[in-house]
Amino acid sequence: MKHTRLRRLIFLALCCDLGLFTKRLIAPAANILTDSLHIPGGISTSFSLMFLVIAAVLAPGFGCGTLMGAVQSVIALSLGMVGSMGALSPIGYIVPGLVIDCVVFFSRKARLSDEITMLAANMLSAASAGLAANGIVFHLSGLVLLLYMAAALTSGAICGALGGSLVPRLRPILCAGLQKEEKK
Amino acid sequence: MKQKKLILGILAALILLTAVLAVLHFQTRDKIPKGALLVSCQGKTAYVELDHLSLTEISGTLVNGKGEEKTVSGQGVALFSLASGDVRSATVVAGDEYAAAVGIEDAENAWLLLGEDGSARLIVFGDANAKRDVKRVVKVVFA
């Protein structure tokens, strides 16, 4: 296996694991915000999705986000980290991954910058994760649903902006091997 | 520079939108005093003080999403004892709007357990559905 491809796969695996486990780390802080807003959730997911978006932006091709979402769902099910969604938790991982792939695909077609792509992908994937959780678990409606979605979009945008500042730093490291091989 | 302004503008707009919706939500949601429940049954609504309820010693087994069993005990009240008249189901709502439905077929296993902080917790013994473990219950709607 070429070094470049191996490096990318290791990076994807790292982002996959970080996305899955950092949600638990940030949950206590996120719960303070959601408790104060009187909504059941929607903030910590954005931080975990940031890692998937970073990987999807840096990796070429379509399907990276969906693949990582699927892997995350398998890991979560095998470790019993299913939360309130139970057996339907794979939907909560795969749907945001698919949204990330779609946003990154259209952003590349439109030649948007990495920062804008990160922002849009993180926002929309956080919103899709929130909608999935609402459909399966919360069944919110009306004003509280609007607030819940606004919180997801806002936290997604903040994490997307944070990720957008990381991507330029990570791209040279990840693509260093590719440049060396091209020179050969 | 233009791009950074755009990103900051989007962030500011979203934070403002969230703040406005939060204020509207706080003003329109039911204000339930601490230590009380809002019980709605057949069109009638009443506040019930948890301290004034006839509490029973409860003990049983809960099953979480991983299939692990945990023994829970404490003082509480049967959920459907709060209803007046014939009801088929109850929707239990927490302070963060998380809600769970309990059918009349689960009446014997559904309890509101009183916590040390004075809040109520929905317990459905033997339930394999982790969705119905609702903490800080503030409202019960019977249908």
Q: Which of B2, B5, B10 to mutate to test the interface with A (most CBs of A within 10 A)?
A: B10
Q: Mind listing the pLDDT tens digit for each residue in A31-44?
A: 899 988 989 887 88
Whether the CB of A173 is below 8 Å from some CB of chain B: the reply is: no
* Tokens found for residue A128: 């899709």
CA distances to A142, B31, B96 from B28, in Å: 11, 9, 14
The more confident residue out of A180 and A137 is A137
Average pLDDT, chain B: 87
Identify the DSSP state of A80: T
Of B24, B29, B97, the CB nearest to A140: B97
In this prediction, residue B126 has a pLDDT band, given cuts at 50, 70 and 90, of confident
Q: Which of A139, A159, A162, A167 to mutate to test the interface with B (most CBs of B within 10 A)?
A: A139
Which runs of E-coded beta strand occur in B56-143? 56-63, 69-78, 89-94, 99-103, 110-114, 120-124, 137-142
Angle at A112 between CA A109 and CA A114, to 5 degrees: 115
The pLDDT value recorded for residue A1 is 52
Whether the CB of A144 is below 8 Å from some CB of chain B: the reply is: yes
pLDDT at A176 over 70: no
Least confident span in A64-78, A128-142, B28-42: B28-42
What is the amino acid identity at position B22? A
Beta bridge pairs of residue B102 = B90
pTM summary value: 0.84
Rounded Cα distance, B46 and A133, in Å: 31
Q: Mind listing the pLDDT tens digit for each residue in A85-114?
A: 777 888 999 999 999 999 999 999 999 999
CA distances to A34, A163, B102 from B33, in Å: 20, 42, 24
Q: What is the interface pTM, i.e. ipTM, of the complex?
A: 0.85
The pLDDT value recorded for residue B74 is 87
Average pLDDT, chain A: 88
Residues A84, A137 contacting (CB under 8 angstroms) = yes
The pLDDT value recorded for residue B116 is 81
The pLDDT value recorded for residue A103 is 96
Task: Tell me whether residues A154 and B14 touch, CB distance under 8 A.
Answer: yes
Axis-axis angle for helices A89-109, A64-79 (nearest 10): 160
Task: Tell me whether residues A154 and B94 touch, CB distance under 8 A.
Answer: no
* Radius of gyration (C-alpha) of chain B in whole angstroms: 19
Whether the CB of A140 is below 8 Å from some CB of chain B: the reply is: yes
Helices first, then strands: H and E counts in chain B: 1, 9
- Find the residue in B nearest to A119 (Cα): B7
Q: Which of A41, A51, A154 is nearest to A97 (CA)?
A: A51
